Structure 1
Amino acid sequence: MTDANTKPDGGLTAVEQDVIDEIDEKGIDFLRLQFTDIIGTVKNVSVPASQAEKAFTEGIYFDGSSINGFVRIQESDMRLKPDPETFSVLPWRTRPGEEGGAARLICDVIDTSTGEPFEGDPRRVLKNALDRAEEMGYEVNAAPEPEFFLFEEDEDGRATTDTGDHGGYFDLAPKDLASDVRRDIIYGLEDMGFEIEASHHEVARGQHEINFEYDDALSTADNVATFRTVVRAIAAQHDLHATFMPKPIPKINGSGMHTHISLFTEDGENAFHDEDDEFDLSETAKQFTAGILDHAEALAAVTNPTVNSYKRLVPGYEAPVYVAWSDRNRSALIRKPAARVPAASRIEARFPDPSCNPYLAFAALIHAGLDGIERGLDCDDPVRENIYEFDEAKREEYGITTLPSNLGEALDALEEDEVVLDALGGHVSEKFVEAKSAEYDDYRVDVSDWELDRYLETF
């Protein structure tokens, strides 16, 4: 019996042939072959749909030296290998009743010098983390909650920070003027295969959240990259600019990407559930949690990777900065959400933000958690009080530390953490630290409008 993913005599797999049949059936004109750079920016190479078979059998070549963090000019030839399971028609590129359209395929990057997967491909980094989990007997599921802002554009089509609404948490129209935009985004996501669970206006004006169902960690990372693309594209159709910048407006809540994680065993049981435990969490779940808490400072460089990320991670705006876990409140770094059924037992890492590269962020979180399991780390008791109300002495009494206060401190912690560095791999960790250090250095020598307003005429 031939497996659906086995190439017969170098030809197409059954899944690849299904994709080509769907391309013909739907009259697709162009294929966007998508991948991400190390920073997490979605890149794509557009090819005529007639090249689909060649893309599957031979791959599509591109210049890797032009991609942030990939290779040097003398090592530039790279190859894209489309994953047929990720085929999806782009709804904003296809009009009802008209011929033609565009579709997307997410690709793995191949190093042409070796014919092997490129170690600098963020998708490969996550696959390596999932391979490690599989060796330990686990499959990883994840469900993120990416938040975003919708801003009006000026007469030149450039983004402003005017929101056009005054909605708050769970508000409805007329305060939430973007409800129609969210509706169209949801329709677009559903057309691309997403199962949407809920959507709502968030706490800050102009801020929104759309939640989609959990999946295996690789599919979920693919979905995050797709989600950001869909949100931006459909917002633009409404003459709005969508941004996943963590803190675009000062002194109000920023955007997070709370990430729910669980491990399942090979026989389909939730390894995080224990009905005899006070919190319904197994020892495995607590060790995994302890691993993330143990590596939290280094993880922040990957899960909160911009200078702006640390404008969100300050006390007072509902963002977690304290390295602790809780089964009740949201002031801790990790929360144990209520679960209706055993299969839903999970932990929620509340510190990642939507500017992160989802492949690298998930890989780092998984490695840190698995390190906790391998080392048998003890998990401290949950903190059930509101940590935001603790003074420094009480935090010290509880042994609660804080996340780095800026990107520079986070990068310093990353460079000292072998587990998180290993999660990224030698190539990605070097290029990531190099790029982010340059970003932080550029920020440090800049002079902001705040400084000019504060000091120029005072001193």
Structure 2
Amino acid sequence: MTDRTPSTTALDRHRERNSERGAVDAVRERIAAAGVEFLYYQAVTVGGRAVGKVVPAVHLLRNLENGVQMHRAVAADFQTDRGGTLLGGGPRATEFTALPDPDTFAVLPWDTGVGRFLCRLYEPAHQSERGGEPFAADVRGHLIRRHREFTERTGLVLRSGCEPETTWTGPGLEVPHRPDASPAYQVEMLERNRPVYRKVIGYGTAMGLDMIEGDYEDPGQLELNWMYDRAELTADRLLTFRQICRQVARELGVTVSFMPKPAVGVMGNGCHHNLSLWRGEENVLAEPGRRDLHLSETGRHALGGILAHAAGAMAVMGPTVNSYKRYWDAGQFAPGRIDWGMDDKTCTVRLSANGRLEFKLPDAMVNPYLSHAVLLAAIADGLENRIEPGPPQGGGADPGDRFPALPLTLGEALTAFAQDSVVHGALGEEIAALHQACKSDEWARFCAAVTDWEHLMYGEGTL
């Protein structure tokens, strides 16, 4: 590596870190030991998809310094609106530079000839004004920066663990069960899914996920969890988990779905976020020495902030048209209003026995980089303004009366999103605008679509 002049931009500083001899040698040794021939350089879109390029591994040093270039419209999944306009930048827009984080290197366990890096994104260095600065629509880099700023301001670290629920269907996964009962937790159902969970857990462990437990929850639904960690690491691992699930489905000739509500009358696929706030090695949501369900003052205000901005955050936590079917189906363990409770699984937020807050609004298609950025801002607002959550569900006055109603369609959620300055500020102007544009177009397309339900209700012979 060559000597450098003093850093002037975020891109320069990242390049300098990537040129440190120890980090470079460690990655080269792992690549050589595994026999890696190709490398994915991956980024994440506003929609939560993994995108990137594949490069022969012999070009590692070049890519550590220069990264790879991609068109900026990829940040919006190259989506066009109903008028045909490309969101996120037209054909003449500049590219961005995706620079790898060496500590994210992993070997794909299903093909050890391929490895991957996760990248942070920057404006190209040759730009006269913003060259080398962070690309504003980089959701992964944005969360890393927001968490650092949150810690500098509060002295706290947000740790989280996700509960990703997925629906598996295909040969051998059929679910015989009583129509008046759920097959949840049945070992027989786990046995039918043994080929699935063995591969998912095995691949997850190989890629750095500390897999801890799993269960069968409803027809076709598996939940496989890993250990909690810093918010940005949990987001990275959820991205990895989804890629693993898709690979396992390909190998087994079955289908995996992250659809939030695959059918009426069955549980939706949630992705509950289990949250704790740490100062050093102390979880400050709980008070030392207490065994009862109890929130510290810090915990109450953090919870108050989460509840106060839950309605505005819904367009992030439930990002699809289908997401809202999960809240309409009564009796399926999804919240129907904004409230909280002591170990109460019907609430928006549940205080659990081990001193964490289980936030139940996010579903299986949530972009975890956006959801955690929003949660950091909501918690910070709660702490700064000492927002009280009110009493828990069943504890006297109705806490649901303290906060706005839960949006029950994507259209309602987008209206609440546009009105919440804390949520908008959490994402930054460009990410918020892209998210609003993409989801508003999705809602418009759904409203213009003619569905099977409409044919059933209004088709020939129904009058």
Give the structure 2 partner of residue 374 of structure 1. Answer: 384
Give, as a single letter, the amino acid of the residue that structure 2 aligns with 1:80: A
Q: Does 1:295 align with 2:312?
A: no
Change (3 A) 1:397 1:148: closer
Alignment RMSD: 2.3
Give the structure 2 partner of residue 59 of structure 1. Answer: 67
Give the structure 2 partner of residue 129 of structure 1. Answer: 146
Give the structure 1 partner of residue 118 of structure 2. Answer: 106
Give the structure 1 partner of residue 162 of structure 2. Answer: 144
Q: How many residues align?
A: 427
Could you tell me how far 1:128 is from its partner in structure 2? 3.0
CA distance in 1 between counterparts of 2:17 and 2:230 reads 30
Compute the TM-score of the two structures, normalised by the length of structure 1: 0.88
Change (3 A) 1:401 1:88: same
CA distance in 1 between counterparts of 2:437 and 2:67 reads 30
Give, as a single letter, the amino acid of the residue that structure 2 aligns with 1:371: D
Give the structure 1 partner of residue 273 of structure 2. Answer: 259
* Contiguous gaps of at least 5 residues in structure 1: 95-100, 154-161, 340-344, 388-393
Which one of 261, 268, 278 corresponds to residue 281 of structure 2? 268
- The sequence identity of aligned pairs, in percent, is 31
Could you tell me how far 1:67 is from its partner in structure 2? 4.1
Choose 438-447 or 58-67, whichever is displaced more.
58-67
Could you tell me how far 1:66 is from its partner in structure 2? 4.1
Secondary structure at the aligned position of 2:196 is classed as helix
Q: Deviations over 1:340-372 (max 9, x none)?
A: xxxxx2211011001011100111111111110
Secondary structure at the aligned position of 2:192 is classed as coil
Give the structure 2 partner of residue 36 of structure 1. Answer: 44
Give the structure 2 partner of residue 390 of structure 1. Answer: none
CA distance in 1 between counterparts of 2:192 and 2:312 reads 39
CA distance in 1 between counterparts of 2:101 and 2:272 reads 27
Give the structure 1 partner of residue 439 of structure 2. Answer: 436
Secondary structure at the aligned position of 1:318 is classed as coil
Change (3 A) 1:116 1:6: closer
CA distance in 2 between counterparts of 1:295 and 1:83 reads 32
For the 8 Å contact 1:328–1:384, the answer to whether it is kept is no
For the 8 Å contact 1:290–1:378, the answer to whether it is kept is yes
For the 8 Å contact 2:293–2:353, the answer to whether it is kept is no
Change (3 A) 1:435 1:14: same
CA distance in 1 between counterparts of 2:18 and 2:266 reads 56
CA distance in 1 between counterparts of 2:278 and 2:26 reads 30
Give, as a single letter, the amino acid of the residue that structure 2 aligns with 1:367: A
Give the structure 2 partner of residue 171 of structure 1. Answer: 186
Which one of 25, 30, 35 corresponds to residue 27 of structure 1? 35
CA distance in 2 between counterparts of 1:171 and 1:107 reads 40
For the 8 Å contact 2:261–2:323, the answer to whether it is kept is yes
Q: Does 1:87 align with 2:102?
A: no
CA distance in 1 between counterparts of 2:199 and 2:185 reads 18
Change (3 A) 1:397 1:280: closer
Q: Deviations over 1:387-430 (max 9, x none)?
A: 9xxxxxx9699657541010000000010000000001000111
Could you tell me how far 1:175 is from its partner in structure 2? 7.4
Q: Does 1:458 align with 2:457?
A: no
Compute the TM-score of the two structures, normalised by the length of structure 2: 0.87
Q: Deviations over 1:291-310 (max 9, x none)?
A: 01001111111011000000
Secondary structure at the aligned position of 1:439 is classed as helix
Q: Does 1:243 align with 2:257?
A: yes
CA distance in 1 between counterparts of 2:19 and 2:462 reads 73
Where in structure 2 are the equivalents of 1:273-292 lying within 5 Å? 273-275=286-288, 279-292=293-306
* Contiguous gaps of at least 5 residues in structure 2: 1-12, 77-86, 178-182
Give the structure 1 partner of residue 450 of structure 2. Answer: 447
Q: Deviations over 1:186-230 (max 9, x none)?
A: 11111111111101111x210100010001111110000000000
Give, as a single letter, the amino acid of the residue that structure 1 aligns with 2:34: K
Q: Deviations over 1:1-55 (max 9, x none)?
A: xxxx997798334223211111012110100111111111111211111111111
For the 8 Å contact 1:321–1:351, the answer to whether it is kept is no
Change (3 A) 1:66 1:10: closer
Where in structure 2 are the equivalents of 1:312-351 lying within 5 Å? 312-314=326-328, 315-339=330-354, 345-351=355-361
Give, as a single letter, the amino acid of the residue that structure 2 aligns with 1:444: C
CA distance in 2 between counterparts of 1:109 and 1:175 reads 41
CA distance in 2 between counterparts of 1:336 and 1:290 reads 13
CA distance in 2 between counterparts of 1:258 and 1:415 reads 24
For the 8 Å contact 1:129–1:363, the answer to whether it is kept is yes
CA distance in 2 between counterparts of 1:428 and 1:48 reads 32
Give the structure 2 partner of residue 98 of structure 1. Answer: none
Secondary structure at the aligned position of 2:148 is classed as helix
Give, as a single letter, the amino acid of the residue that structure 2 aligns with 1:58: N
Change (3 A) 1:306 1:6: closer
Could you tell me how far 1:107 is from its partner in structure 2? 0.6
CA distance in 1 between counterparts of 2:61 and 2:74 reads 26
